[in-house]
Amino acid sequence: MRTLGTLAPLGALLAAVAGCSSAGTRASASDPLPSVASGSCSANADWTPAPPIKADSLTDYQRSVEVRQRNDWANLARYRDANATLGAPAPGETRVVFMGNSITDAWAKSFPTMFPGKPYVGRGISGQTTPQMLVRFRQDVIALRPKVVVILAGINDIAGNTGPSTQSMIADNLMSMTEIAKANGIRVVLSSVLPVFEYPWRKGLEPAPKIVALNAWLKDYASRAGAVYLDYHSAMADARQGLPPALSSDGVHPNEAGYRIMAPLAEQAIAAALRSP
């Protein structure tokens, strides 16, 4: 197994998705993996992050979020009491924590019906990005002592919710969460980012190809890090690489039909993680 923390060149992965590559790129101590495709690409393959949100364009909701973030940036208060009430797993309990954003937050309300009898714990917070999740990862995942953590993150980073973010920045945070979990004996499921064609709250960012590229990196990293890759994207994307109306009312958040597709895929990934050494 490769040492955790090695990062495939994201530019090369993006190039592979786009049909070109950084051929001739040599491996080095900081870049230990070879390029992933052959050919050539004259332009820098990495994508430009979303620009900062202008203060005068904030909605009332965004202003309220901004105020809260100044006082508790990672929203550690959200689950503090719930974590204390939950306590340690019972003997023989196969606890699973789902770490994520609004997609996980909304889904957790349906866990009792979609995962009946399963000790699955939702720890999603609407609007969050990977650096915020990393800050609260010890409190909301490690301290709960699960057997498995299912991480679904990155969609809001691409949208620039907490400022401009590159794929390398997202990857760093996902790798850190993975390494922290594994160091504490927790198996890791890395979920693909769900398809999005357009953000309702930030038009014109063209997230679809960025999501495809991030998912390519996630799949590659999971295989090297001893994690399980959970591919929601392939099962849910339409021809535009977005969420179809049948699965989402806003093109970002799944409806019940979308979650019904996700649930068995999550169960399969969790089972695979539990079988891993």
pLDDT tens per residue across span 2-45? 333 333 344 444 344 333 333 333 333 333 332 222 233 323 34
Residues 170 and 202 in one domain: yes
Portion of the chain with pLDDT greater than 70, in percent: 76
Neighbour count for residue 49 (Cβ, 10 Å): 19
Task: Tell me how far apart the alpha carbons of residues 35 and 240 are, in angstroms, rounded to a whole number.
Answer: 27
Please report, for the domain that includes residue 176, its CATH number. 3.40.50.1110
Task: Tell me how far apart the alpha carbons of residues 122 and 111 are, in angstroms, rounded to a whole number.
Answer: 8
User: Domain end: 29, 46, 63, which one?
Assistant: 46
pLDDT at 206 over 70: yes
Residues 76 and 178 in one domain: yes
Structural domain for 39, as ranges: 1-46
Q: Which residues contact 233 (CB under 8 A, 6 or more apart)?
A: 192, 193, 194, 195, 211, 212, 215
Residues 109 and 16 in one domain: no
Residues 152 and 208 in one domain: yes
- Name the CA radius of gyration of the chain, rounded: 18
Residue with tokens 């679904």: 152
Residues 255 and 123 in one domain: yes
Number of domains in the chain: 2
